[in-house]
Amino acid sequence: MNFAKPDPANRFVLRQVLDSARLHGARGVAVFDLDSTLFDNRPRQARILREFGAARGVPELSACAAEHWTTSWDMEEAMRACGVPAERAAALFPEAKAFWRDRFFTSPYCVDDRPIAGAAAFVRAVWESGATVAYCTGRHEPMREGSVESLRLGGFPVPEGERTTLIMKPTFDMTDDDFKRLAHARLRELGTVIAAFDNEPIHINDYHRVFPEALAVHLATDHSGREVPVAPGIPAVVDFTLP
């Protein structure tokens, strides 16, 4: 689901993060989730639905685009937005979901993701300020190659270079919640966490609790749909456009 538009004044927290990055230097760690935080995954979704349409002979899906995911990741809703009749979309959904699952969580499809507005410039600015950039994502290790390539194509500092790292789940079966909590120890090893950005309320709440001195920022894009409120005191932004 999408969130209500946050207060535009929240964007000033992005300036605060840059100030903190300059102050702490390489010992300062800025943490960024990938999906729905730095990247819009809807182009990846659209590609898969187009391919499904070609495989199953559903011509309405040939023009499927990111814009057909207007309010959620609901594939049945997206098919209807593409012009597939509601009854037909419901009948196709189980097969489409399986088709999607076999492709979405793979390296080759990552390159279709597109940066959230201002994201690449902001992460580069954090890195150029002297801080360490840590990408911490629920993607699993077999997606590393595609994830690094999508970061490169998007203009982000590339992981495993100077003051950059990419922390990923070891296996697909580990839950994102368990992984993110285990990753906190790894982040401490890198230095002082000065900021964390995540679209999932549970994850940004955890960053806020575990690293109380850091600037925890919620990306109000979309999330898994669990009814978990963002903790009080955590600012929300819709993208990384600086004020």
State pLDDT tens for residues 37-95: 999 999 999 999 999 999 999 999 999 999 888 766 788 999 999 999 999 999 999 99
123 and 102 together in one domain: no
183, 213: one domain: yes
**Do 30 and 48 belong to one domain?**
no
pLDDT at 2 over 50: no
Same domain? For 168 and 67 the reply is no
> Does residue 218 lie within any of the structural domains?
yes
Is residue 84 assigned to a domain? Answer: yes
- Structural domain contains residue 120: yes
Q: Do 150 and 213 fall within a single domain?
A: yes
118 and 160 belong to one structural domain: yes
In contact, 156 and 126? CB cutoff 8 Å: no
Domain's final residue, options 86, 110, 134: 110
Domain-located, residue 1: no
**pLDDT of res. 228:** 86
User: Domain ends where: 93, 110, 127?
Assistant: 110
The pLDDT of residue 3: 43
| pLDDT > 70 in the chain, percent | 96
Shared-domain flag, residues 119 and 214: yes
Q: Are residues 55 and 144 in the same domain?
A: no
Same domain, 61 and 148: no
In which domain, by residue range, is 69 found? 42-110
Where a domain ends, among 91, 110, 129?
110
Query: Is 98 contained in some domain?
Result: yes
Assess whether 149 and 63 both reside in one domain. Answer: no
Give yes or no: residues 138 and 101 share one domain: no
The mean pLDDT of the chain is: 92
Task: Say which CATH number the domain at 134 has.
Answer: 3.40.50.1000
- In the chain, the number of structural domains is 2
Q: Read off the pLDDT of each residue in 117-131 and give the average, rounded to a whole number.
A: 97
157-205 residue pLDDT tens: 999 778 999 999 999 999 998 999 999 999 999 999 999 999 999 999 9
pLDDT at 5: 60
